[in-house]
Structure 1
Amino acid sequence: MNNKLQALTEQELHNLAMNIVGRQLESEGYEFMGVNSKPLKNPQFVCLKDKQLYFIVVRNVVYPNDPAIYDKGLLMKIKKQASKFEAKTYYAGVGLFNAEDQNLPVYLNEAYLVQYDGLLEI
């Protein structure tokens, strides 16, 4: 086994956060109309459920930041865009932390903790 720890990149952390949110959306019956895995290209998910369109912004959040705190300016821009499509806007902040020491990065193939409280309507 290789003992050299490899920290996950920003893109890998973002993909992990998207997978966590995507599994939740899938289990709740959302249909994916569009998925964007680029961290700064918003929204990450455009979904349909019960004939309602949803724009969902996903952010991975590193310690010591709080996943529930979001960029209000950005989300208001997304909400304005979503309103043109009569879509609802949600924020999904996913905290990803090293399980051994939250001050360390999340490493590839090492334990990590997830802090995710679900979708927050904007």
Structure 2
Amino acid sequence: MKPLSSQELHNLAMNIVGRELESDGFEFMAVNSKPGKNPQFVCLKAKELHFIVVRPVAFPDDPRDYDTKLLKKVKDHALKFEAKTYYAGVRLSNATDRNLPVYLNEEYLVEYEGLLEI
């Protein structure tokens, strides 16, 4: 069994958030899947710009906790474009034992409570 890499976990979290954004009527203007490059999504909805930072979170960490310094920097950048800023934390854990890593082609649990406006 091969544990997912940090890039694979990041991509998985982005896919989960991206599907929700799409179903909520967001139009993707830019997508950045490189960890460390923020925001991950720049979207348009109702003629309003949205900057969305996505992070995979490991069990037992709280998916609602975020790096305030980073999000302030993203928000300051977003304000220049009159954009709203959001954080999307997605906790991913092994379905069999939450203390084990998430493995490729194995079941996993997702805890995602939606976008947090910053």
- TM-score, L = length of structure 1: 0.96
Q: RMSD between aligned alpha carbons?
A: 0.4
Deviations 1:69-96 (A, max 9, x none): 0000100000000000000000000000
Cα separation, 2, equivalents of 1:109 and 1:47: 30
Cα separation, 2, equivalents of 1:26 and 1:116: 16
Gaps of 5+ in 2: none
Count of paired positions: 118
Aligned to 1:89: 85
Deviations 1:80-113 (A, max 9, x none): 0000000000000000000011110000000000
Query: Among residues 45, 49, 52, which one is paired with 1:49 in the alignment?
Result: 45
Q: Which contiguous aligned blocks of 4+ residues in structure 1 show a shift greater than 6 angstroms?
A: none
Gaps of 5+ in 1: none
What's the offset of the Cα at 1:63? 1.0
**2:63 is aligned with 1:67:** yes
Query: Among residues 18, 37, 47, which one is paired with 1:22 in the alignment?
Result: 18
Cα separation, 1, equivalents of 2:58 and 2:82: 32
Query: Among residues 112, 115, 118, which one is paired with 1:119 in the alignment?
Result: 115
